[in-house]
């Protein structure tokens, strides 16, 4: 299936029925749009982000649409410990009984600045949010995913290994490495699909914050780029793993 075909992918109304999907960064942008869409297709969505008030708004939108009741799980990746991730996995198993999909979508750029001006403290925070957190979260929930009939992991990737992107560029390069490692390790018996999506520029709050003088209207809305995520989360992508899909140049 081509990039255009995936962007225009039309999922079945019950594509994600009875599945439990954990989405990080669920309070804004792509995470919010994907959470609403996945719930509409029948998924019980675990909404994870750091701001409870924003998560509650997404929760209310899902309930108002008549979709399956979601769950809220507030977590700030900057200070999360290994125990926090394991507690999350334990809570999902105890409260929901299963996990069928994980979307590692949360991201935090920190600052776009010359290499020499990036402080060690900020470097550590950016790496923690964008690389260490997806690693530790994925590791914690893998036992649950291995029990699912059709498990899938999707990363929101970003090709940004160029000037001024500093720690975020390094973290995203590492994240793509993590994607490939997991795809290889879980490609045999009882596989887990592991794929990534690089949307390119999208009209999100994060984009507007870092590019205040840009014409944001030239970029797609979050709702316009989530179809490939739904494709990778559902059974139509059963034979696809290890792919990092670029929707448009950054």
State the Cα–Cα distance between residues 109 and 120, nearest whole angstrom: 15
Q: What is the mean pLDDT of residues 133-147?
A: 98
Q: Provide CATH code, domain 3-8+16-246.
A: 3.40.50.720
User: What pLDDT score was predicted for residue 215?
Assistant: 81
Local confidence band at 33 (pLDDT 50, 70, 90 cut-offs): very high
Percent of all residues in the chain with a pLDDT value above 70, rounded to a whole number = 100
DSSP string, 60-121: HHHHHTTPPP-EEEE--TTT--HHHHHHHHHHHHHHHS---EEEE----------GGG--HH
Q: Residues 184-197: pLDDT tens digits?
A: 999 988 899 999 99
User: What pLDDT score was predicted for residue 198?
Assistant: 96
Number of Cβ atoms within 10 Å of the Cβ of 151:
24
Local confidence band at 102 (pLDDT 50, 70, 90 cut-offs): very high
Average pLDDT over the chain reads 95
């Amino acid at each position: 299936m081509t990039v255009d075909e995936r962007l225009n992918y039309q999922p079945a109304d019950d594509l994600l029925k009875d599945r439990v999907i954990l989405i990080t960064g669920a309070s804004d942008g792509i995470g919010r749009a994907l959470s609403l869409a996945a719930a509409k297709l029948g998924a019980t969505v675990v909404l994870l982000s750091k701001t409870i008030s924003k998560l509650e708004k997404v929760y209310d939108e899902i309930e108002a649409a008549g979709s399956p009741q979601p769950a809220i799980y507030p977590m700030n990746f900057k200070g999360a410990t290994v125990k926090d991730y394991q507690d999350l996995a334990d809570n999902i198993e105890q409260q929901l009984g299963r996990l069928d999909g994980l979307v590692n979508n949360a991201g935090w750029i920190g600052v776009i600045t010359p290499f020499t001006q990036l402080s060690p403290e900020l470097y550590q925070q950016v790496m923690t949010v964008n690389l260490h957190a997806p690693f530790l979260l994925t590791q914690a929930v893998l036992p649950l995913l291995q029990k699912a009939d059709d498990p899938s992991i999707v990363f929101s990737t970003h090709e940004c290994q160029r000037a001024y992107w500093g720690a975020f560029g390094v973290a995203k390069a590492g994240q793509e490495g993590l994607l490939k490692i997991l795809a290889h390790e879980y490609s045999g018996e009882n596989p887990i699909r592991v794929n990534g999506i690089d949307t390119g520029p999208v009209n999100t709050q994060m984009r507007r914050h870092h590019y205040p003088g840009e014409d944001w209207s030239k970029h797609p809305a979050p709702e316009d780029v989530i179809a490939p995520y739904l494709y990778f989360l559902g059974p139509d992508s059963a034979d696809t793993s290890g792919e990092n899909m670029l929707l448009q140049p950054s």
